[in-house]
Structure 1
């Protein structure tokens, strides 16, 4: 296989090749997003979905580099029935680590009554939220009068986009869970380094609000690091 660009770390190259989902394209896009920054901790997460007779895959790659988090997502689409025409869509986002409001982790253990320190995690969910892009959901507004046909404009909600990745030892392997756990630790250290100044009350309130929303997606029993 053609070697990947020397700009990426050897471990990232290896993980992209192992995932086998257009590794050269993914690496080149990440290299462009890094723009000369040296990559640090990373997480490569490949997901496969089955839809009747079709198999759909997509990959998410997270890379810490100095003061930013690079988020890369790749989907592909089959354009013909025989699968000869395929299109890949790649998106990237650069998140300033200073903008990260929460890093949440949810752990699932099998037979917790027999737990001993060092026992493997059965499933891990990592949630990262930042004050970046927002999703706006709109719907026509109405009133209490069922017979009213006036135009009441629109109503809706706006909320920060966040990233949630679920890794399972059964589906992805124990090594994948370990890698996700290690990246979550690196992400926490990078976004909230020890000895930094305390955030302003407004920022703390925003972080609490986002943390609660991410936690609700995980379930009630969520451990946050």
Structure 2
């Protein structure tokens, strides 16, 4: 175990302790999911949601190793009104780095007219895609004529994403935004150095014959 990897492991545990969300439990789950791999970079993101009289917390831990991206999600749930009975729901996913298809960073800067190179982003959104899953955002389409009341159908964007994390300076601090940026750089560098494995050609399937009947496709079913 190198000095660098040992330091990164300690840094990961320190970040989990600072988050304060069942740190021992989360640490044990994360290290178990690593399967003795050494972390190269990590990102810990804690979210808190208020639902009437209940408080729900969710932590996402991303850990990058030489060949894997390990994602851990932990939620807690209150089973009684007094909050004495709690359960933690945990999921882990291990994604080979070679399967990472895209790493997208979106930034928000305040007062861009006064921007200097020393200014930090006020908000950062990190989107990572690996499975080919897509999100479709749709809305009514329009035209440039303000007097037009015709139906222009719908328009939308197809976005590839498997996980999206939003980090803001107001909620998480400037250092958290910088940490997310550093993790994205490490992931981007490592994923682009692992070429995607070539697809193995399968048997050629015969094309279906087209009859005389016109069949309308039903998209989105």
TM-score w.r.t. the length of structure 1 is 0.70
Task: Supply the distance in 1 between the matched residues of 2:160 and 2:183 (Cα, whole angstroms).
Answer: 22
1:117 is aligned to 117
How far apart are 1:51 and its partner, in Å?
A: 1.4
Unaligned runs of 5+ in 2: 1-5, 135-158, 200-221
List structure 1 segments (4+ residues) > 4 angstroms apart after TM superposition. Answer: 196-201
Query: What secondary structure is seen at the aligned counterpart in 1 of 2:129?
Result: strand
How far apart are 1:50 and its partner, in Å?
A: 1.3
1:20 is aligned to 20
Task: Supply the distance in 2 between the matched residues of 1:111 and 1:87 (Cα, whole angstroms).
Answer: 44
How far apart are 1:7 and its partner, in Å?
A: 11
Q: Which moved more, 1:25-34 or 1:39-48?
A: 25-34
Give the alignment of 1:153-164 within 5 angstroms: 162-164=162-164
Query: What secondary structure is seen at the aligned counterpart in 2 of 1:9?
Result: helix
How far apart are 1:53 and its partner, in Å?
A: 2.2
Task: Supply the distance in 1 between the matched residues of 2:96 and 2:7 (Cα, whole angstroms).
Answer: 20
How far apart are 1:189 and its partner, in Å?
A: 0.5
Query: Between Structure 1 and Structure 2, how many residues are aligned?
Result: 171
1:71 is aligned to 71
Q: Does 1:48 align with 2:56?
A: no
Larger RCO (CA within 8 A; separation ≥ 6):
1
CA-to-aligned-CA distance 1:32-74 (integer Å, 9 cap, x gap): 1111111110000000111122211100000001100000000
Distance 1:7 1:24, change over 3 A: farther
Distance 1:126 1:161, change over 3 A: closer
2:166 is aligned to 166
How far apart are 1:8 and its partner, in Å?
A: 7.3
CA-to-aligned-CA distance 1:106-151 (integer Å, 9 cap, x gap): 000000011111201100000001027x69xxxxxxxxxxxxxxxx
CA-to-aligned-CA distance 1:141-171 (integer Å, 9 cap, x gap): xxxxxxxxxxxxxxxxxx9760000000001
CA-to-aligned-CA distance 1:195-225 (integer Å, 9 cap, x gap): x668879xxxxxxxxxxxxxxxxxxxxxxxx
From the CA coordinates, give the structure whose radius of gyration is larger.
Answer: 2
Give the alignment of 1:75-86 within 5 angstroms: 75-86=75-86
Q: Is the 8 A contact 1:7 1:38 kept in 2?
A: no
TM-score w.r.t. the length of structure 2 is 0.72
1:127 is aligned to 127
RMSD value, Cα: 2.6
Q: Is the 8 A contact 2:67 2:96 kept in 1?
A: yes
Unaligned runs of 5+ in 1: 1-5, 136-158, 202-225
